[in-house]
């Protein structure tokens, strides 16, 4: 993945590692999951996807 300057300014390039998101079918919201333990971490307040986190299918 190509990155643009300036480097070292505190923002992330690429996806968040060891995280995934899945759709909760009960309320149609995205839930963040830890890929190591499989535990659910967080849920979005709105129905949009979580930015920078890969999706499970």
Q: Which pLDDT score is estimated for 12? A: 79
Predicted TM-score (pTM) above 0.75: no
User: Of the candidates 11, 18, 12, 14, which has an alpha carbon nearest to the alpha carbon of residue 1?
Assistant: 14
Helices (H) and strands (E) in the chain, counts: 0, 4
- pLDDT tens-digit map of 18-27: 999 999 999 9
8 A C-beta contact, residue 48 and residue 15 = no
CA distance 17 to 4: 20
Question: Which pLDDT tens digit goes with each residue over 29-49?
Answer: 999 999 999 999 999 999 999
């Amino acid at each position: 993945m190509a990155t643009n300057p300036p480097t070292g300014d505190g923002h992330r390039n690429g996806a968040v590692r060891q995280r995934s998101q899945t759709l909760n079918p009960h309320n149609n919201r995205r839930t963040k999951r830890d890929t190591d333990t499989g535990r659910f971490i967080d849920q979005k307040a709105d129905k949009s996807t979580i930015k920078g986190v890969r999706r499970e299918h």
